[in-house]
Amino acid sequence: MAFARNQWFVAAYGGEVGRDLLARTVLGEALVLYRTEAGQAVALSDRCVHRRYPLSASRLDGDTIVCGYHGFTYDAGGGCVFVPGQQRIPRTARVLWYPVVEQDSFVWVWIGDRDQADPAAIPRAPWLADPRYAVVRGMESLDARYGLLVDNLMDLSHETYLHGGYIGTPEVADTPITTEVDEDKGVVYVSRHMDDSACPPFYAQSTGIQGRITRWQDIEYHPPCLYLLHSRIAPHGVYPPADGPDSAAFHAEIVYAITPSKEHTTYDFWAVARDFAIDDETVSEYLRTSNHTVVMQDVTALNLLERVIAAEPDRYQELSINIDTGGLAARRILARMVESGAPEGSLR
């Protein structure tokens, strides 16, 4: 599966990047991430130019990385400032640096032509760094191509079957969706509004709602990396007021960053931000544990699916139905991004 280059991708949470060297592979490119003494996040190629030793297996000296094999030393811009045993530093002694932006608790890196990197193009997930929300989060490594996670998240009807007893109820699969594609903004929207639904344990336990609910799921997918699910939970029949805040409802902002690592592996960053019981650590622990369980149910299923697909011939004829309308739109936008980000001459 091809990658969409010339795009921003989440490489890590800000809290993962510090004074230890962190290795991540994004779109097949090995990166080393760290934070300078002044607090700036840095991403460099994770291969010493000399004999390809991983810099992530080396050590920091101030803001420089000293290669753990022969001591080649690189500054935060990837320039080599020391080579062993000689005065002259070869002109080509440098490693690639990557544009980095920290935003909404994520460390975004630009993979592609650096001249095209525009931080303003990074989609937002402001709840993750908003004190009015409580956030639980994690990251799982998926042994599956990133497109399988996109398919999974764009069609939430799977909640009924894969996540029953956690977030799935019969109404999810039974409720028709609406889908929109905004070509200019590059966003796919999928909405599923359930007027009268059972309350799954995930929300019954965390909100305390007894009985049936009105449950809205509004997806915003900003290809290739950021997926937002605006989840509105309210007692049955309670809708947002015409004016003023929607204070009778509970809101959870479910955020995923889908970052291709290698062809058949993916980083699955997940977070749940909520505007209720924000100081209640019991609720946080419950949601952290439950959502981790849900994510791992997806990981297990997608890893299995990857093995099945990898063993099949290309262009296996799959079947798409109405529930796939949003996922199909996402695939098309991704395919277009792959094409537009491909190096010149690589397309027919």
Q: Tell me if 177 contacts another protein by CB under 8 A.
A: yes
Per CB under 8 A, which of residues 280..339 are in contact with another protein?
320-322, 324-325, 328-329, 332
The minimum distance between CB 326 and another protein, in angstroms, equals: 8
- Taking the complex as a whole, the smallest distance from the CB of residue 50 to another protein amounts, in Å, to 48
Please count the residues of this chain forming the interface with another protein, following the rule CB under 8 A: 18
Q: Output the furthest CA–CA distance in the chain (Å, rounded).
A: 76
Cβ distance to another protein smaller for residue 104 or 324: 324
CB 29 within 8 A of CB 45: yes
Measure the CA–CA gap between 209 and 212, rounded to whole angstroms. Answer: 8
CB of 293 to another protein, least distance (A): 30
Q: Which two tokens stand for residue 205?
A: 């336990």
Is the CA virtual torsion 120, 121, 127, 128 positive or negative? Answer: negative
Q: How far is the CB of 321 from another protein (least distance, A)?
A: 7
| 260, 141 Cβ separation under 8 angstroms | no
Residue pair 148/48 in contact (Cβ under 8 Å)? The answer is no
Beta strands in 164-212 (DSSP E): 178-182, 187-197
Alpha-carbon separation of residue 62 from 18, 98, 133 (angstroms): 12, 19, 35
Q: Report the residue number, 129 or 335, with the smaller CB distance to another protein.
A: 335
Q: Quick one: which segment of 1-9, 173-181, 260-268, 284-292 binds another protein (CB under 8 A)?
A: 173-181
* Identity of the amino acid at 253: E
Whole-angstrom distance, CA of residue 128 vs CA of residue 58:
32
Structure tokens at 284: 């946080």
Residue pair 228/220 in contact by the 8 Å Cβ criterion: yes
**Min dist. Cβ of residue 332 to another protein (A):** 6
Residues facing residue 10 across a β-bridge: 108
Given candidates 51, 59, 70, 185, which one binds another protein under the rule CB under 8 A? 185
Q: Does 181 bind another protein (CB under 8 A)?
A: yes
Q: Please say which residue, 7 or 325, places its beta carbon nearer to another protein.
A: 325
For the bound state, the minimum distance from the C-beta of residue 176 to another protein, rounded and expressed in Å, comes to 4
Question: From the CB of 97, what's the least distance to another protein, in Å?
Answer: 35
Compare residues 127 and 221 and give the one whose CB is closer to another protein: 221
Among 38, 115, 183, 314, the residue binding another protein under the rule CB under 8 A is 183
Residues at the contact surface with another protein, assessed by CB under 8 A? 176-185, 320-322, 324-325, 328-329, 332
